[in-house]
């Protein structure tokens, strides 16, 4: 809190941010309970809500809104470097162009085939939903 009046209380702002964070949390749970037919809609919604919450915490609770330009100098390189590992792994682990030969992939193909022919892969009744499609 270096760049603004230290004697001035921010209690009101903090309370407003706290209420906003609670509302956002409730919205995430509602988004989950709504069970959209496309799971990607839920994913996009809850991650957007999480980003909004993160922004609230960083700007007000961590005082970044009131800090000078050093915050960019410190946080931008960190942010860019943090993305390096996921981006490096993505082509090989997240979206491999080849078909990896692991037991899980074979098992998944079997489950899909069993589900396709109207049977249950694990004979496991109704509680087991269809595995997701990617």
Binding site for another protein (CB under 8 A): 1-2, 6-7, 9-11, 14-15, 17-18, 21-22, 25, 28-29, 31-32, 42-43, 46-47, 49-50, 53-54, 57-58, 60-63, 67-68, 70, 73-75, 78-79, 81-83, 85-86, 89-90, 93-96, 103-105, 107-108, 111, 122-129, 131-134
Least spacing, CB of residue 97 vs another protein, in Å: 11
The tokens of 24 are what? 């956002």
Q: What is the radius of gyration, based on Cα positions, of the chain?
A: 23
Q: How many helices (H) and strands (E) does the chain have?
A: 4, 0
The tokens of 1 are what? 């809190």
Cβ nearer to another protein, comparing 73 with 101: 73
The tokens of 125 are what? 């009744």
């Amino acid at each position: 809190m270096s760049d603004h009046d230290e004697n001035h209380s921010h209690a009101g702002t903090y309370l407003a941010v706290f209420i906003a964070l609670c509302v956002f949390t409730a919205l995430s749970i509602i988004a989950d309970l709504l069970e959209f037919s496309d799971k990607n809609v839920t994913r996009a919604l809850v991650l957007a809500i999480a980003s909004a919450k993160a922004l609230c915490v960083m700007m007000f609770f961590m005082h970044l809104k009131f800090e000078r330009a050093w915050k960019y100098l410190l946080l931008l390189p960190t942010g860019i470097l943090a993305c390096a590992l996921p981006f490096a792994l993505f082509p090989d682990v997240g979206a491999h162009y080849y078909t990896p030969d692991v037991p899980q992939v074979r098992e998944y193909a079997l489950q899909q085939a069993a589900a396709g022919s109207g049977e249950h892969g694990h004979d496991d009744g109704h509680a087991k939903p269809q595995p997701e499609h990617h």
